[in-house]
A and B are shown apart, each in its own frame.
Chain A
Amino acid sequence: MSSIIIGILVTLGTLFVLLSAIGLIRMPDTYMRISVNTKAATLGVGLILVGTAVFFNDLSTTSRSLVIILFVFLTAPVSAHLIGRASYFTGVKLWKGSVVDDLKGKYQKNSYILKSEIDDTPEDNVDHTKLDDDNK
């Protein structure tokens, strides 16, 4: 009975990891790749580690795998936010089908300040729709 539960958990986790790898290949945009991998890979690894905790069924291993799950769940959004912020500021272009860009015109290219409103010096703002192709 326990092996059936472990099999289901590990299979679901592996499918999520595989889907996140396929999403990493198929997604057209850096930001969409960040989004896919933050959610799917984290959930997949969490399910696999829950399967490990069910398999060993003692306190030390369960606490160890729970600590890994907690750590991955805490750090994945932080690292995704940081790398998304860095890639937006370094000028990675959005996909041409993206409709909403909430930070459009709010990041100052020369003073490196992120403002919360569009100010009166629009020539200083980074506009991702008008970037050159070599500025990746």
Chain B
Amino acid sequence: MSARAPGCDDASVDVEVDSATTEERREVTMPETMRWPGAGRPADEQAVGLARPPLVRRRSGRVVGGVSSGVAEHLGVPVLWVRAVFAALAALGGAGVVAYGLLWITMAPEPADAPQREESSTERMQGIGLAVLGAGLAIAAGSLTGSIGRWVIGPLGAVLVGTAVVWREADEAQRRRWLGSARSGVAGALLGGGGVSAVVRVLGGVGLVVTGIAMFLLSRVDLGAMQAAVVSVLATLVGVAVLTVPWWLRLVRDLNEERRARIRTEERAEIAAHLHDSVLQTLALIQKQPDVPREVLRLARGQERQLRAWLYGPSGYGRRGGDADGGAAGGPSGNLADAVATACGEVEDTFAIKVQQVVVGDCELDERLVALVHAAREAVVNAAKHAGVGEVSVYAEVEPERVQVYVRDRGKGFDPEAVPEDRHGLADSIRGRMERHGGAVRLRTAPGEGTEVQLEMPRSRNGTKNAAKEARA
């Protein structure tokens, strides 16, 4: 029995769900047809709909809450008219004030990154004047017609102004939160990182509202009952605050959790995108040509270097954040370590060899050091072409007075005396380049013993370009 009952239930539930969904579907489609009443003139409707900006409260050029300017923008009429209408309506028993408040609550504020719109000071003065006029009319009309008692006017005015101030501040807090500068937590949600002035404004507004209510109570209630009323109201407020503590805490936690989750998701997406663009592509390429070892090596090395650069910075290993040459990072022409890494990487890619590079110290590039890096690159290219080995070591060391670079291979080496005159690689690209900039080249090689090219370049005294020529250190 109990085993069979769920089956029967399921069947009936299924039917119910079916009918519910069809009903829902009907409900969903209904408003759509209402929104587009005539199939004959959708183009017209659409054009108007697109031309009309959305109904949002404006931030720039607002006087109270930005409702009037938002409405004016939406309807395409001058903002002065809208303000005048609100002021006039305020005379009808305060209807304008109520309408304004309702719109303030229901209209969404415009996005924080919306463009700022200019407003002339006369327009602003008119706005303020109409706001004051509206408030005055509402009060005057109320008192004249007797629809509100005189005793209410003062307190009501204070409450209205106080409420407007607090609401306005809440708008500001939201904008700051959107701009990402706000702290998290309840204080952050209420004040949005606005600082002391925001606290003062909110407290001022709250004070006005409290004063208004107190004035109302004081004028209507005799003091004895008043005390009991105040105590009971305060007790209720404390009770509500205590009861809602878990809710506040959860709100804070949810906010933080949501922010963390968003950051995680973004990071993950970035990593996934990067891996897809680089690593997966390279792996696919490698699978396509498994029988060309040279190409596979080249792809793997190139990919490794790229991934390292992404993970650890351009030089492929640890970031050199604590270096003495603190200002070097932002230099327009880059750093020596990065330049050496780039040059070595290019040769690795071109000649499918491994270039093991180690750089000790770092400094900003100048004209001489650029020449040094070019010469070093040429030396690596020579090794790649002629040494007949798969690995070249590059070692660069930055010293206070000079920079030294060693390019070394364990290949076949050569006899420097026997190099034909028409081979310009070493003579021009390396020796010539170095000597033109005041550097020196030493060569250690012999047939069968590998080759080491030692490059040395004096540093400009203060590291700036085109410093006065200095004597060799």
A binds B: no
